[in-house]
Amino acid sequence: MQLTEDQIYALAPDEASKKAGRDLATPAKWVTKGINDQALWGECQGSGSKPYQTQVDLSAIAFKCSCPSRKFPCKHGLGLLLLCARQPGLFTNANIPAWVSDWISKRSEKEEKKVEKAEKPIDEAAQAKRQQSREQKVSAGINELLIWVKDIVRNGILTVPEKGAGYWDNMARRMVDAQASGMAAMVKNLGATNFWNEGWQDNFMDKLLQLYLVAESYQRLPGINPLLQQDIRSAIGFTVNQDELRQQSGLTDTWLVIGKDSRDEQQITVEQNWLYGLKSNQYALVLQFIARGQVAQLSISTGMYLDAELSYFPSVVPYRAIIKNHVAAKSGSAHDIKSFNGWQQVAIQETSLNSRLPFRNEMPFIIAALKPVQYQKQWWLQDQEGCLCRIASDFKNIWQLMALSGGEPLTMTVIGKENEYKPLGVWHQNNYKTI
Amino acid sequence: MKAWEYVINTAMLGTDKPMPGNQNLPDSITEIAVKIDAIDSIDKEAKFLQKASVIYNYRQCGFTPFQKQDLPVTIASEEIKPYCSLLAASVLNDILNEDNTALLELWMSRCCEKGQLFLPDALPAVLDKAEKDTSLRSMAIACSGNRGEWLSKLNPVWGYFRTFPDEEIWQTGKPEERAALLKKMRQDDPGRAREWLQQTWEQETAASKVELLKTLRINAGTGDLEWLESLLNEKGQKVKDEAIALLKLIPGSSIVNQYEGLLKQSVNLKKEKALLGMMNKVSIWQKLPAVVDESIFKSGIEKLAGQKASITDESFILYQLIGSVPPSFWEKQFECTPGQVVEYFDKYANDKVTALGLAVSRFKQKEWISYFLEQPGFYPDFIEMMATVEQEKYLTRFLKADAQNMIHYALRLKHEWGLDFALLAFREMANHPYEYNRAFFSKHIKLIPVSTLSHLEKIEPKDANLQNAWEKGKHHLIKLLGLKQQTLKAFNA
C-alpha cells in the first residue's frame, strides 16, 4: 500500500520523530532496501557498527526495528516509509531476507493464536458479586452527585466561576471512588469550562444538563430500552468486554480514516480515529489508549483506506467501535462518498440522533460543497443553499482551508454539534487532505 | 430561543429565587413542564433540572442553520502558471519544517525561474515566512499565483501583495519604505532619485534628511555635485556631515579639489641624477606647506596621529589626504602610468601604499585593482569590484593567514562558492566549530556548493577535542546540502 507523506507523518509519535524520520529519508542512509507485497524493509547505518534492521508490515502497517528506541514507530521506520513514498524506484522487488520473512510469519502465527486462545473459565458468581458491589457504589455516588448538582442550581450559577479547583476536583474524586470514571470525567470537564468566554453560561449549562441526564437516567435504568441502558452505563464508566464484542459479527466495509486526534490524559495517550464506511455510509470512532512506553496496536493515519470489520459498541446511536481485523485497501475517490447535501440535512440527522441519545458527544459528518466564508468577523461554512454554521473558534488552520478552497466549495469532513463545527479534512483534487 | 433563555436566566439566579412561570415556553414544552410541576414527590431543583433537560434536547433537536444568501464571496482566478511537481512540493515541505530561510529563498528562486507555483497547501506557511522576511516577498508573490493574491486580500497580515506606485510610496510611505525606494531608484536612475529628493527636501525633517541623503552613496557622481555643494549651508550639522561624506566620494567636488591642491604642493616625485649622471635617483618628496588651510580639518581630516602612533602628525595628515583623492590624480601628478604610481609608492613611500589602496576602493577605480593584488595588504572593498573568478583567488591568497576574516568576506559574495574555495574554508572552519555551527550553516547554505557533499566526511579539525562539536555542525550541513541538492534536482527534472 502506498501511503502519502502526510499519512506517514501522522503515524509519528511526536514532532522529534517526524524530524528525525525526515532526515533519514535519504538513500545514502540505507545500506539495503527492498519491498514486496507484504513488507518493506531496509538496513540503516546508525552510529553502531551493525546497521539497524527496519521492517514494515504493509498489509496492516506494523513496524519492527532492531534499534534501541522506545518510540513507536521509531525514526527508522518513518524514514524508510518516507523514502519509499518519495522514491519508490529505489526499492527493488528483491528476495525477502530471512529476518523479514521470520517476522512476517511470526505475526501471522500470533494472529492465529489470538483467535485460538482458549478463554479461561470465569467464576460467574464472583463476577456477579463484584458487579453488584460496584453498582451499589455507583448508585451511592450518583446520589451524592445529584445533591451536588441541585446545590449548584439552587444557589445559582452566577457565582460558579469563583469556585476554586478543589470544588470540582473533590466531586471528581468522589466519582472515582464510586467507580464512576465517566462521571468523574464529566465533572472535570464541567469545571474546565472557560468562564472568561462570553456566553460561558450556555456551555456550562449544556455540560451540567448532560451530567444530570446521565445521573438521573442511571437511577431509572430498568425502565429504559436495553441499548440506551448501555449508553448510560458507558457514560457512567462501565466498560464493555471487548473480547465479547470481538465475538460478535461486525460491519465489513472499506473504511476511510477521516480524522485523527491524540491527547494526553494522566500518562495515557488517548487516540481518537474517526472512520467512514464507503459502502455502509456509517461513521465510527475507534479509540486507542496507549500507556507511556507501550506500543500502539493500531497504526493508522488520516486518509488511509482500510478493508476492515468493525464491531460497534452497543448503543442507540452506534458510533464507537473496535477494529476486529483490517488490511490496507486501495485509495478510493470522492465519488465513493455519500455525503450530506447541506446543513439542513445535517440538522435532520442531528435531530434524529439527539432524539435517540440526548447526551451524545460531537460526531463527524461529510458534507458536500461547503465553502468557508467570513461574516461579522467570524468564519463560517456555507452550503449551496446559503445556510451557515460557525467554524469552531479553536480551529487553527483556517488559512490552509481557505488556500485549498480558493473560494470554491469543497466536500468536507467536519466534527461538531448544532451550529458549530471544526473541519477535519477536505477532498482536494480527488485526494483527501487533513487540515 | 426563549425557552433556553428561561433555563439560563433561572440557572443564573438559582432556584431559591422566584422562578418564571411556564407561560413563555413553547406549547410542546409547556405540556411537559406542567406535568413535571405536577409531581409532588420531587423538589423544585429537580423540577427545574428536568424541565431544563427537556428544553436542552428541544433546542438540540430543533437546531436550524442560519441562512444568509447575499454574502459577498470572491473566488480565486484560475492559475495560468503550472504547479510545481509533487517532488518539489515535498522538498518545500521539508524546507519549511527545517525553518531555513536561505533554502526557502533558493527553492522559490528556482520555482520562479521555471515559471511554476507552489501547491495551495503551502500558501499560508510561505506567506507567513515572507511576511516576516521582506527579502522573500517578491518571490513569494510570484510563486503563489492568483490564489495567493486572492488569499492575501482576505488576510491583512499578507497585505504586502498590494503594490503601490512609486510616487505614492514617496509621498505617503513609511520612512524605511521611502529610503528603500530611493535606494532602488539610485541603482537604475540616480538623477531621477536625486530630483525626487530635491523636490521634497524642504518638507523633510532633519532625521529623514540624513537617512535619505545616505541613499545617495549608491552611484554618487558628478551629477549630484551641484546640489550636494549647496547642502554645505544646511543648518543641521548631521545633514552637513552627510553631505561632506558624499562630496568626499565624488572626484571634482570642492573638498576633493581642495585635497588635491594641497597634495600637489605636498607630495612630489623627485627624479635626480646619481652616480655622476649614470643613474636616475627617484624619490617621493613629502612635506606639508608651512601654513595649511584649517578648513581641511573641518572636513574630516584628523590633525593628530595620537600619542601612541608610530608616525608623525604630518605623515598622518598626508596619509589621510592620499586616501581621499582619486588614484588617477597621481597619474598627472607623477606623470606616469597607474602601475608606475603603485610601484613608486611601494618603493619610496611604502607607508602610504595602503592609503592609495583605500582611495581605489573609495572612488571605485576598478582598473587600479590589478596593481594591488600582489601587495601584502588586504583590501576588502576590492572584492565587490572584482570579477567572480578573481574574488575567490584573492580571498584564497589570504585564507591561511587570516581564515576567519577571509570567510567573513567570502560570506558577502553574491555567487555560490567554488568547490576548491569551499573545501579550503571548511578545513579552517573545522578548527572553529563553535563559531561555524549549525546556525551559521543554516544562514549561509546558499553559498555552499552541493558538490562539497562527497568531500565533507573527510574534513576533520586538527584538535581532536573539537571533533564532536564539528561533527554536529557537519551533519547539519550535510542535511542542508541534501535539501539543497533535492531542490536543484526537483526543478531540473
Which ipTM score applies to this complex? 0.81
Is B112 at the interface with chain A, CB within 8 A? Answer: no
DSSP lists the bridge partners of residue A259 as A274
Which residue, among B56, B69, B78, B97, would best test binding to A if mutated, counting the most A CBs under 10 Å from its CB?
B56
User: Which residues in chain A are contacts of B13 at CB distance < 8 A?
Assistant: 156, 158
CATH topology classification for A336-434: OB fold (Dihydrolipoamide Acetyltransferase, E2P) (2.40.50)
Is B46 at the interface with chain A, CB within 8 A? Answer: yes
Residue with cell 506517514: A8
User: Which residues in chain A are contacts of B17 at CB distance < 8 A?
Assistant: 156
Q: How many helices (H) and strands (E) does chain B have?
A: 26, 3
Using an 8 Å Cβ cutoff, are A163 and A155 in contact? Answer: no
Phi, psi for residue B301 in degrees, rounded to 5: -85, 125
| Cell numbers for A428 | 482536494
Exposed, middle or buried by CB within 10 Å (0-12, 13-18, 19+), for A169? middle
- Cα–Cα distances (Å) from B164 to A10, B145, B169, B173, B483, in that order, read 43, 19, 6, 9, 36
The mean pLDDT of B443-471, rounded to a whole number, is 92
Nearest by Cα to B191 from B221, B214, B230: B221
N-term to C-term CA, chain A? 23
The mean pLDDT of B184-189, rounded to a whole number, is 92
Using an 8 Å Cβ cutoff, are B283 and B270 in contact? Answer: yes
Please, what is the Cα angle at A381 between A380 and A387, to 5 degrees? 100
Residue of chain B whose Cα is closest to the Cα of A362: B60
Q: Quote the pLDDT of residue A112.
A: 65
Q: Quote the pLDDT of residue B233.
A: 87
User: Which residues in chain A are contacts of B64 at CB distance < 8 A?
Assistant: 344, 347
Is A89 at the interface with chain B, CB within 8 A? Answer: no
Is A432 at the interface with chain B, CB within 8 A? Answer: no
Total length of chain A: 435
The mean pLDDT of B235-241, rounded to a whole number, is 90
**DSSP-derived secondary structure letter, A317:** S
DSSP lists the bridge partners of residue A271 as A262, A288
DSSP lists the bridge partners of residue A434 as A425
Position B243 confidence tier, pLDDT thresholds 50, 70, 90: very high
Q: Quote the pLDDT of residue A236.
A: 94
| Cell numbers for A160 | 460558579
Nearest by Cα to A413 from A310, A277, A274: A274
Q: Quote the pLDDT of residue A295.
A: 66
Phi, psi for residue A418 in degrees, rounded to 5: 50, -115
Q: Quote the pLDDT of residue A120.
A: 62
Give the closest-approach CA distance of B64 to chain A in angstroms. 6
* pLDDT tens digits, B392-438: 999 999 998 899 999 999 999 999 999 999 999 999 999 999 999 99
Position B216 confidence tier, pLDDT thresholds 50, 70, 90: very high
Please, what is the Cα angle at B157 between B184 and B70, to 5 degrees? 125
* pLDDT tens digits, A158-176: 999 999 899 999 999 999 9
Instruction: Reduce the DSSP state of residue B164 to 3 states and report it.
Output: coil
CATH topology classification for A242-332: OB fold (Dihydrolipoamide Acetyltransferase, E2P) (2.40.50)
- Tell me the Cα Rg of chain A: 24
pLDDT at residue B206 greater than cutoff 60? yes
Contact partners, residue B448, CB within 8 Å, separation at least 6: B416, B417, B422, B441, B477, B480, B481, B484
The Cα B221–Cα B252 span in angstroms is 9
Residue with cell 527534472: B493
Position B283 confidence tier, pLDDT thresholds 50, 70, 90: confident
Which residues of chain A have a pLDDT value below 70?
Answer: 1-2, 111-121, 292-295, 334
The mean pLDDT of B202-215, rounded to a whole number, is 91
DSSP lists the bridge partners of residue A289 as A270
| Cell numbers for A202 | 450556555
Residue of chain A whose Cα is closest to the Cα of B87: A86
The Cα B384–Cα B46 span in angstroms is 86
Using an 8 Å Cβ cutoff, are B279 and B392 in contact? Answer: no
Q: Which A positions 197-226 lie with beta carbon below 8 A of chain B?
A: 201-202, 205-206, 208-209, 212-213, 216
Residue with cell 493508522: A300
The interaxial angle of helices A124-155 and B44-61, nearest 10 deg, is 100
Contact partners, residue B295, CB within 8 Å, separation at least 6: B258
The Cα B491–Cα B493 span in angstroms is 6
How many residue contacts between A and B have a Cβ separation below 8 Å? Answer: 150
User: Which residues in chain A are contacts of B94 at CB distance < 8 A?
Assistant: 22
Asked if A387's CB is within 8 angstroms of B67's CB, the reply is yes
Q: Quote the pLDDT of residue B442.
A: 95
Q: Quote the pLDDT of residue A33.
A: 87
DSSP lists the bridge partners of residue A326 as A308
The mean pLDDT of B249-268, rounded to a whole number, is 92
Q: Quote the pLDDT of residue B1.
A: 64
Asked if B12's CB is within 8 angstroms of A156's CB, the reply is yes
Give the HSE-up count for residue A64: Cα atoms under 13 Å, Cβ half-sphere: 16
Nearest by Cα to B60 from A363, A379, A185, A221: A363
Higher pLDDT, B272 or A218: A218
Asked if A403's CB is within 8 angstroms of B124's CB, the reply is yes
Q: Which A positions 254-293 lie with beta carbon below 8 A of chain B?
A: none
The amino acid occupying position B206 is: A
**DSSP-derived secondary structure letter, B13:** H
Q: What is the DSSP string of B308-350?
A: T-SS-HHHHHHHHHHTTS-THHHHHHHTS-HHHHHHHHHHH-G
Phi, psi for residue A397 in degrees, rounded to 5: -105, 40
Contact partners, residue B25, CB within 8 Å, separation at least 6: B2, B3, B6, B33, B55
pLDDT at residue B161 greater than cutoff 90? no
